[in-house]
Amino acid sequence: MSSKDALASRIGKNLKALRQGLGLNQKTLAAASGLSSTLISRIESGLVMPSIATLQEIADSLRSDIAYFFKGEGARDYVITRKGTRKVSYGKRGPKGKVTYGLELLAEGMENPFMEPCIVTEYAKAGEEFQLAKHNGQEFIYVLEGKLELTLGEEKFMLNEGDAAYFLGEIPHGGKSLGKRTARTLNVHLIPGSRIGTFEPRA
């Protein structure tokens, strides 16, 4: 097999895996990308070497990075992280750069992630003001410990241990720890088919 044929086969396999992972059939992808189902099928079978423009159309339709189609078979398809070894970053959204939360990424290093899970420790307290977050995609929060005051736009919600919330990231949002016990939450950010990194704290 020539290097060109090998590359076409790799692109086809990666495209098929991504499409199936998103629960899409070839007809749906064809309609979304403006390409024919026949062309999609031939690309996935490795029979056609698609142009960069065609791959970009497909990547945009799947909300993915075009580089995903070129990854080799040796690329890592999973990430295992261990307690006590993960990096913790800090968000400084309070007045004069005061730290308002700690953030521990749970799956850092995963290639082309569709989800971004992390544990957030809320340092801001009731009555303290800080800059609310806003981003693309959707976010899920599950309270692991303590009590959380969750701001979503103009509304505030009191969440106890075991409570959860799911909302659009474009809604200005943020959390405060209520009571003596510091609130800790499991947060998952999702932008289907897209490389993401919006949980990186900003000063």
Its pTM surpasses 0.75 = no
User: What's the confidence (pLDDT) of residue 28?
Assistant: 94
Tell me how far apart the 2 most distant CA atoms of the chain are, in Å.
Answer: 67
Q: Please, what sign has the CA dihedral across residues 95, 116, 63, 25?
A: negative
150 pLDDT above the threshold of 70: yes
pLDDT cut 70: percent of the chain above it: 90
pLDDT band at residue 108 using 50, 70 and 90 as cut-offs: confident
Lowest mean pLDDT among 52-61, 69-78, 156-165, 185-194: 69-78
195 pLDDT above the threshold of 50: no
Give the chain's domains with CATH numbers: 3-70 (1.10.260.40), 88-190 (2.60.120.10)
User: What's the confidence (pLDDT) of residue 203?
Assistant: 40
Distance CA 186, CA 26 (A): 35
Distance CA 132, CA 107 (A): 24
* Higher per-residue confidence, 64 vs 154: 154
Distance CA 143, CA 120 (A): 10
Distance CA 60, CA 66 (A): 8
pLDDT band at residue 92 using 50, 70 and 90 as cut-offs: confident
User: What's the confidence (pLDDT) of residue 194?
Assistant: 47
User: What's the confidence (pLDDT) of residue 187?
Assistant: 96
193 pLDDT above the threshold of 60: no
Q: What is the mean pLDDT of residues 158-174?
A: 96
Query: What digits encode the pLDDT tens for the residues 170-183?
Result: 999 999 999 889 99
